[in-house]
Amino acid sequence: MNKDELRAWLRLSMTEGVGNDAARKLLACFGSPQTVFEQTESALCQVVTPKQAHALLTVPNELAVQCVRTHQWLAHQPDTHSQALWTLGDPHYPPELLQLADPPLMIYVAGQTERTLGNAVAIVGSRNPTPQGADIATQFGEALCEAGLCVVSGLALGVDGAAHTGALRGGKTSAHWHTVAVVGTGLDRVYPSKHKVLAQHIALQGLLISEYHLGAAPLAHHFPKRNRLIAALGLGTLVVEAALKSGSLITAKMALELNREVLAIPGSIYATQSHGCHALIRQGAKLVENAQDVLEELQLTPQQQANLFADALAADDAVPSDDTEHPLLTHMGYAPVSLDALQARCGLDTAALQAQLLTLELDGAVGRLPGGLFQRLGAA
User: At which of 296, 317, 338 does a domain end?
Assistant: 317
Report yes or no on 84 lying in a domain: no
Q: DSSP states of 119-179 as a string?
A: SEEEEE--SS--HHHHHHHHHHHHHHHHTTPEEEE---TTHHHHHHHHHHHH--S-SB-SE
Q: What is the pLDDT of residues 162-195, one digit of tens each?
A: 999 999 999 887 889 999 999 999 999 999 999 9
Report yes or no on 35 lying in a domain: yes
Rounded to the nearest angstrom, the gap between the alpha carbon of residue 234 and the centroid of all alpha carbons in its chain is 9
Half-sphere exposure of 159 (CA within 13 A, CB side): 31
- Strand arrangement, sheet containing 337-338: 337-338, 373-376, 366-369
Question: Hey, how many other C-beta atoms are within 10 angstroms of the C-beta on 184?
Answer: 24
What confidence tier does 313 reach under pLDDT thresholds 50, 70, 90? very low
- Sorted by sequence, the CB contacts under 8 Å of residue 180 that are 6+ apart come out as 117, 120, 150, 151, 152, 153, 202, 206, 207, 208, 209, 233
CB 272 within 8 A of CB 243: yes
The residue range of the domain holding 15 is 1-63
Give strand pairing partners of 182. Answer: 209
Q: What is the pLDDT of residues 239-271, one digit of tens each?
A: 999 999 889 999 999 999 999 999 999 998 888
Q: Encode burial over 127-153: b for 16+ CB neighbours within 10 A, e otherwise.
A: bebbbbbbbbbbbbbbbbbbbbbbbbb
Same domain, 298 and 330: no
Report yes or no on 98 lying in a domain: no
Classify 104 as helix, strand or coil: coil
Angle separating helix axes 3-14 and 20-30, nearest 10 degrees: 130
Kindly report the CATH number assigned to the domain that includes residue 337: 1.10.10.10
Domain count within the chain: 3
Report yes or no on 341 lying in a domain: yes
User: At which of 294, 317, 340 does a domain end?
Assistant: 317
Same domain, 14 and 43: yes
Classify 238 as helix, strand or coil: strand
Same domain, 282 and 341: no
Same domain, 259 and 340: no
Report yes or no on 97 lying in a domain: no
Same domain, 180 and 243: yes
Q: How far is CA 150 from CA 81, 172, 262, 322, in A?
A: 18, 11, 16, 32
Give strand pairing partners of 238. Answer: 123, 263
User: At which of 299, 317, 335 does a domain end?
Assistant: 317
Stated pTM of the model: 0.82
Same domain, 236 and 351: no
CB 9 within 8 A of CB 24: no
366-369 and 337-338 strand pairing: unpaired
Same domain, 163 and 278: yes
Report yes or no on 338 lying in a domain: yes
Q: Which of 288, 277, 266, 270 is nearest to 244 (CA)?
A: 277
Half-sphere exposure of 10 (CA within 13 A, CB side): 24
Same domain, 228 and 293: yes
Same domain, 274 and 182: yes
What is the distance in angstroms between the CA of the first residue and the CA of the last residue of the chain?
52
Report yes or no on 93 lying in a domain: no
Kindly report the CATH number assigned to the domain that includes residue 38: 1.10.150
> Which pLDDT score is estimated for 349?
84
What confidence tier does 318 reach under pLDDT thresholds 50, 70, 90? very low
Q: DSSP states of 290-342 as a string?
A: SHHHHHHHHT--HHHHHHHHHHHHHHHHHSPPGGGS-HHHHHH-SS-EEHHHH
Classify 273 as helix, strand or coil: helix
Kindly report the CATH number assigned to the domain that includes residue 304: 3.40.50.450
Same domain, 334 and 207: no
As a whole number of angstroms, the distance between CA 37 and CA 287 comes to: 51
- More reliable by pLDDT, 21 or 352: 21
CB 222 within 8 A of CB 216: yes
Q: What is the pLDDT of residues 25-75, one digit of tens each?
A: 999 999 999 999 999 999 999 999 999 999 999 999 999 999 999 999 999
Give strand pairing partners of 338. Answer: 373
Report yes or no on 370 lying in a domain: yes
Query: Per-residue pLDDT for 303 more than 80?
Result: no
Q: What is the pLDDT of residues 322-336, one digit of tens each?
A: 456 788 888 887 778
Same domain, 328 and 312: no
Q: Which of 262, 219, 260, 261 is nearest to 242 (CA)?
A: 262
Same domain, 155 and 268: yes
Largest CA distance in the chain: 84
